[in-house]
Each structure stands twice: as structure tokens, then as C-alpha cells.
Amino acid sequence: MSLTQPIRTTCLRCSRISTPVSKTKTSSPSGLAYRQFTSSSSSTRSSWLRSHPRLALTILGLTLPTSYFFFPASPSLTPHTYSEQPISSTQTLSPQHKLITVPISQPSTSREFFERPYRTDGSIANTEGGEVVVQHMMIKSPDIQIERPYTPINDCLDDGEIRMVIKRVRGGEVGRVVHNLKDGDKVGIRGPIPTFSIYPNQYDKIIMISTGTAISPFLQLLSKLPSPSPSSSEVIPKLHLIHSNPLEGREDWSNTTIDKSFLPNLQDKFGDNLQITRIDPGLIPKQVIVNSLQHETKSNKDQRVLVLICLPPMLMRPLCGSMTPNLGQGPITGILGELGLTNKQVWKLE
């Protein structure tokens, strides 16, 4: 894992992290322990499977989807198993957007993956050393076997609850289900799942570029970063959020004081350390990026700058180039490529 650039899941829609757990007597040299699967009857099962391959595949094909989506095994929040979690509150932000809150205080095991978050490679993040992990949740429809990723906007561990803004789009089954939920209803959810992780103190400046609900990972990141304090020795980089205004007639929900993780409260938290630039809907203007970088004294390729981008493909492509078909980063082209930025300084989010 690189310590100078973020890491993230290969695919948010079908991410399955391998959860590390402590071994009984041994651990890896780095101090990170991984799950071991052992069984005294493994040879017997293997022999049976070899003798009845078609039956085994049939049972597996019928059992896994059914148990995975409809029979959650644990009441706790875990990345790999769905459970029915109560919704403590819902709030309509706009006809298309709804804010839902899911508590994580009970049972206590639901806090485990927030207290000791994992990187996307399954290792335990070094939060005590300043690493910050942005996480997302998966929500499923109870009617059909479909799940969708949603990113909390807040510091879930600090708040003791998960707050997510869910957008309803035409034909979106999970969004339809969530928008019909009321206070006290339950929702099928699993997570938290790591989206990316960074060491903020390794950068002089972090630039975040988003539109619409794609601002969610940046709201979470800003919520998790500590407030600047003259008495603190912790180094906080300069922060610059570039976010598109909503289309005419649409509510600018992130620019309200409804939630403490929305922009006005974050501006109060960071003061002059956070610059917020609002731009018109559409392509990201080159001059906005140039203005954000020009205050640095080093050449662009030598800057300790990180540009995080969460945009739809049609807006991402001219700015920094597309992600690869398997959601890899791909080369940095477009405006950021012209300005000399590299993959070490740019990270694309789906």
C-alpha cells in the first residue's frame, strides 16, 4: 500500500472485503493478522464435492443468493452480511433527496468496523497514525436481489449514527424503497466498506471536485478531519472543495444548515482553511483548477497536492480521463494531465 496516495475498492457495487481477524498465536510481520480457514473435516467435504459436483453447484446456487439477501445472519453491522437496521429518523431534503439516520450505538459490535476500519486490501487502517478512511454502506431492496452503495455524510463513530442522503432516480429500485421508509422502519444494510483511505498530513493541499450527491464522500472526509487549532501539533492541509451548483429549480441541500455535516457548518469548523468554490453545472472550468494550484510555489508535478474527483463519467473524462472498464484509475489525461498532475496526485472515485 502506498502511503502517499489513497486506496479504494475495485467496485463499489460488488465490493466484498476480506475481513481480518486476530490469529490465535501468530501474526504477520507488519502486525496485521488475517483470517485463516481450517477444518478437520475439510478433506471429507472435498471428497463429497468431487463425487457430487452437479448437486453441490445446484445447492450452492440456490442457497447463497437466498441467504445473502433474505436471511441476514447477524443483527450487527458488518461489511459482509446484511442485517435489518432500524431507521431512527428520515427527513426530506428535496423531492429527489432524503436524509436517513441509522443508529450504531447498539449492539456494541456494530461499532467494530468504525472503531477499527479496514483498508480496501483488508488490512487494519492506522487511524492512530493519522490515516483517515472514508467508508460506504450497501443497501438492498427486499423485493429483488439488488443492492446499491451509499456514502455516509458524517463521522459515524463520533456521532454514533450513520447519516446518508439517498437520491431517488427514475427506475432506481433501492432509492424507491428508501424514500418510502418512515421513522422506525427497518432497512437491509451492510457495511461499513472502505472506499479510500489517505494520510491527510502528507499533503499541503487537498482539492475535492464533485457534483450532486457525489459530494457525500467529501462531506464525510471533512467531518472526520480535526478542526484547525493553534494549540494542536496536528498538521491540517489546505482544503478546497469545488462543487457544482444544482440545476435551476433544484434544491441546494448541501448548502443548508439542516445537518452539521453540510457546507455552512463545515465552513465554520475549518474557517479560512477550507475554501468552497461553487461552479455552474456542466464541465469543470480549467481556470478554476489553475487558480487552485497557482498559489503553490512548487511546480505541479512536485506539489504535495491531492485531487479527489467524484463526478459522472461525462464530466470526469475531460477533466482527468476515464476510469478503466474494471474501475481502475487509468492514466491522467484531460485538464489535469495538461497541468502536469500524475496518478500520485489524482484519485478518481466512481
Q: Tell whether residue 149 is among the known ligand binding residues.
A: yes
Distance spanning both ends of the chain, measured CA to CA: 20
Residue 172 burial by Cβ neighbours in a 10 Å radius (0-12, 13-18, 19+)? middle
Query: What strands, in cross-sheet order, belong to the sheet with 305-310?
Result: 274-279, 238-244, 205-210, 305-310, 346-349
Q: Tell whether residue 165 is among the known ligand binding residues.
A: yes
Nearest to 12 by CA among 109, 149, 133: 149
**Whole-number Å distance between alpha carbons of 34 and 21:** 5
Secondary structure of residue 139 in the 3-state scheme: strand
**Whole-number Å distance between alpha carbons of 250 and 94:** 8
**Whole-number Å distance between alpha carbons of 198 and 133:** 7
**Whole-number Å distance between alpha carbons of 33 and 22:** 5
Q: Is the dihedral angle over the CA atoms 330, 336, 337, 341 positive or is it negative? A: negative
> Alpha-carbon Rg of the chain, whole angstroms?
22
CA dihedral (141, 143, 144, 147) in degrees, to 10, reads 0
Secondary structure of residue 129 in the 3-state scheme: helix
Nearest to 131 by CA among 197, 213, 50: 197
Question: 21 phi and psi, to 5 degrees?
Answer: -135, 160
Nearest to 332 by CA among 41, 5, 3: 5
Q: Tell whether residue 148 is among the known ligand binding residues.
A: yes
Residues that constitute the known binding site: 148-150, 165, 167, 174
Residues that constitute the known binding site for FAD: 148-150, 165, 167, 174
